[in-house]
Structure 1
């Protein structure tokens, strides 16, 4: 009875399939007739050559992806604002993943709100898509639940004009431990580029924290200067009395410290923004967190500081007799 020919693997099979085929040949060679052993030997050499070539290609791809990630990350380093960071992120994702369509959206509860977009196709000026809901069981919901890169075959209707209809890849951007944004890429990425996108999203979250911190510091400094001006009555004519009753800068700093002492660093950031009159939505956008997260922070802050509402908190802060 003639021996059944051993099937040859396709050139695009992964290493696991190739290794399995090699193991099958080695097992068959133990009992094969001499003529068949010679044929199997030729197949084995061919498979080993293919595996070595695949390993070399994979190593080159990994090196190229690592270089691309490094270049993309360095391009984010000097972004001076959230808007600039978001636009640069879209540009770098397009380059890193070899795609021409990218959308970055922020998350507000179960709403996905596009805030930056890129299309490198000639003659296109992308406009921001409309916001849309987060359906249960969608690739976006899966990506947020597992904090992983996820692919989908059906592009959301709101993104279809920009991303096209041939599938997409999405990944969450985590800021301060919370998924605050989503990146959509207008292509179904392969393994190495999915990995690259995941690494880039992690780094992007750290850059949002950095930019947010710098922005908050600027706002806090402005707030403290304004508070000091109101406290010392700089709007009023200077007093010519012998006794200056205005608190010193040291007193103001100490009072500020007492107010913020029981709070975590993130809660202190929220307090400072509340004192500027910022709404929950504005605070969420500034800190790159969701409105629900802001509401949770506000409840804890009011409880810790013994205030029943924002107005009382502001009065407590601005009163010299705190």
Structure 2
């Protein structure tokens, strides 16, 4: 006789267990006596009802998660800065994953550096964990290699005071085609919520690109306006008079100076230069462009070499002395 759990027992009622129970009943029905057939029929009906309820419950859960993803993504749409975006992202991940604590970290080469932490517990002040290396074979390395959510029972030591010690889930955030950040949550997510976090992380990467692009445009506008003001202040008054205007050349386009300075550079190097000219530090540039500090340092070295400057101060002086 097939080993079929009783209808009123409490087995694992996941899909596999229920399917096994139904299969066992159907097999036994082939040779069962009439009395046994009636009993098996009742059990079969019960298990089929339970499987239907499980499917309906899972469908409702998936619909709720899908709605949660939609709401979480829309909540990021009007974030005006990387800092605001990161804070909102942590709050929404906690809600989406039913997690208590969320940590968002920058990925700097092979080091994970936490920058924002959030907790739903009003009695706890969220702490920022220490950074730690991206170790070979770690859950973070697996998540990075597969670009997906990874769960593990063992929380990284530096994060235990923040995430606790009951397991965690993590996913990388890809910005401009490369992993730039990690999200950690203090719970081992089930498959539907892993999928939800994976989708949200993908959308978050796009939002970082949007915020970075808007910030770069604002910086460029400020630089161009500053160039126009300085050009105007250095222009001979006679050249603007009706008499002098006949003999004067038309003023250069507002971005001519920027173009002459930035011609040797790649697009990303030009973005870095524009931020340097506003006085931004390496850390500020990294946050603005959503890249690592080490990447900024590499860009700066190449920029100084291409533009023939020995340091930032000389680069800024070269910009200010460029003929207008």
TM range (shorter): 0.7 to 0.9
What residue in structure 2 maps to residue 285 of structure 1?
A: 287
CA 1:273–1:30 in 2, change beyond 3 Å: closer, same or farther?
same
TM-score, normalised via structure 2 length: 0.82
* Deviations, residues 269-295 of structure 1 (Å, cap 9, x unaligned): 334334445455443221112245446
What residue in structure 1 maps to residue 91 of structure 2?
A: 91
State the alpha-carbon separation in 2 of the partners of residues 4 and 316 from structure 1. Answer: 84
Q: Please give the secondary structure, in 1, of the residue aligned with 2:238.
A: coil
Equivalent of 1:239, from 220, 237, 250?
237
State the alpha-carbon separation in 2 of the partners of residues 202 and 214 from structure 1. Answer: 19
Cα RMSD for the two superposed structures:
3.2
**What displacement does 1:26 show?**
2.7
What residue in structure 1 maps to residue 323 of structure 2?
A: 320
* Deviations, residues 275-316 of structure 1 (Å, cap 9, x unaligned): 44545544322111224544666688789xx64667697647
* Deviations, residues 11-37 of structure 1 (Å, cap 9, x unaligned): 544324433443343344334444444
CA 1:245–1:276 in 2, change beyond 3 Å: closer, same or farther?
farther
CA 1:64–1:240 in 2, change beyond 3 Å: closer, same or farther?
same
CA 1:25–1:266 in 2, change beyond 3 Å: closer, same or farther?
farther
CA 1:136–1:239 in 2, change beyond 3 Å: closer, same or farther?
same
State the alpha-carbon separation in 2 of the partners of residues 264 and 290 from structure 1. Answer: 18
- Gaps spanning 5+ residues in structure 1: where? none
- Aligned ranges for residues 176-187 of structure 1 at < 5 Å? 176-187=176-187
State the alpha-carbon separation in 2 of the partners of residues 262 and 21 from structure 1. Answer: 71
State the alpha-carbon separation in 1 of the partners of residues 39 and 301 from structure 2. Answer: 75
Structure 1 range deviating more: 79-88 or 21-30: 21-30
State the alpha-carbon separation in 2 of the partners of residues 300 and 22 from structure 1. Answer: 67
State the alpha-carbon separation in 1 of the partners of residues 309 and 36 from structure 2. Answer: 85
Pairs aligned (count): 314
* Deviations, residues 217-266 of structure 1 (Å, cap 9, x unaligned): 11111122233344x262x585335368686242x435645766787654
Structure 1 range deviating more: 283-292 or 306-315: 306-315
- Gaps spanning 5+ residues in structure 2: where? none
CA 1:15–1:227 in 2, change beyond 3 Å: closer, same or farther?
same
State the alpha-carbon separation in 2 of the partners of residues 92 and 122 from structure 1. Answer: 16
Q: Please give the secondary structure, in 2, of the residue aligned with 1:76.
A: coil
TM-score, normalised via structure 1 length: 0.83
What residue in structure 2 maps to residue 134 of structure 1?
A: 134
Cα pair 2:139 2:150 within 8 Å, conserved: yes
Equivalent of 1:248, from 244, 248, 251?
251
CA 1:274–1:4 in 2, change beyond 3 Å: closer, same or farther?
same
State the alpha-carbon separation in 2 of the partners of residues 298 and 288 from structure 1. Answer: 16
What residue in structure 1 maps to residue 122 of structure 2?
A: 122
Q: Does 1:63 align with 2:66?
A: no
State the alpha-carbon separation in 2 of the partners of residues 54 and 23 from structure 1. Answer: 17
State the alpha-carbon separation in 2 of the partners of residues 114 and 295 from structure 1. Answer: 20
CA 1:223–1:41 in 2, change beyond 3 Å: closer, same or farther?
same
